[in-house]
Amino acid sequence: MNNVVNNSAPPEVGATLQRMRLARGLTLEDLSRIAGVSKSMLSQIEREKANPTIAITWRLANALGVQIGELLSSEVRSAELIRVVDAHEIPTLPGSHAGYSLRILGPMDLAGKYEWYELTLAPGGELASQPHDPGTSEHLTVLTGAVELEVGTEKKKIKHGGTARYPADQAHVIRNAGKTEARALLVVVQR
């Protein structure tokens, strides 16, 4: 005898999404910005007025730092002591137009306070940033290659293994002037 349950209704992710968002201290606006999903769509999903597409569900799961299955599950899971995030689950901000890629390593619930990224710069690539909020600082550690850092009118070269600490509340640029790819760990601290 085959006991197959035919459940044609899509999973209701609204309550799970809202629980996860609130547990991380994120507003609808925060999650909208991080996931690249409109605030009105998020609101509709949370109120069970809309079911997200797989693409939107994947973006939301990445933004929340969970597996897509966790977002689709209505079960409330006990807190894990160790949460491993596989490489394919880590959200990446591709800046291929400017020769960089930025992997978001920090959990989304710390966004706006402490953020850390793996920055990869192709030869000639650069990450140019407008001033962040007042009091924000960045800490850049070069893992491979070398980069040039420009903050205001000052420029410094950071070699493999070196760390630069600087105010990020003014325009700043991290560029790879070398002939090989450069990788760095970038930590942003907002006060």
Domain spans of the chain, in order of start: 14-72, 90-189
136: confidence class by pLDDT, cuts 50, 70, 90: very high
Angle between helices 14-23 and 39-46 (to 10 degrees): 120
Asked whether residue 86 carries a pLDDT value surpassing 50, the answer given is: yes
CATH of domain 90-189: 2.60.120.10
How far apart are the C-alpha atoms of 163 and 186, rounded to whole Å?
10
CA distances from 147 to 141, 143, 157, 185, 189 (A): 10, 10, 6, 12, 20
Residue with tokens 């609808």: 28
182: confidence class by pLDDT, cuts 50, 70, 90: very high
Asked whether residue 109 carries a pLDDT value surpassing 80, the answer given is: no
Q: Is the full-model pTM beyond 0.75? A: no
Residue bearing the bigger pLDDT, 85 or 157? 157
Task: With residue 127 as reference, give the H or E element that holds it.
Answer: strand 126-129
Asked whether residue 14 carries a pLDDT value surpassing 90, the answer given is: no
Judging by beta carbons within 10 Å of its beta carbon (0-12, 13-18, 19+), is residue 55 exposed, middle or buried? exposed
Determine what percent of the chain is predicted with pLDDT higher than 70: 88
Report, as an integer, the average pLDDT of 113-120: 92
Residue bearing the bigger pLDDT, 68 or 169? 169
CATH of domain 14-72: 1.10.260.40
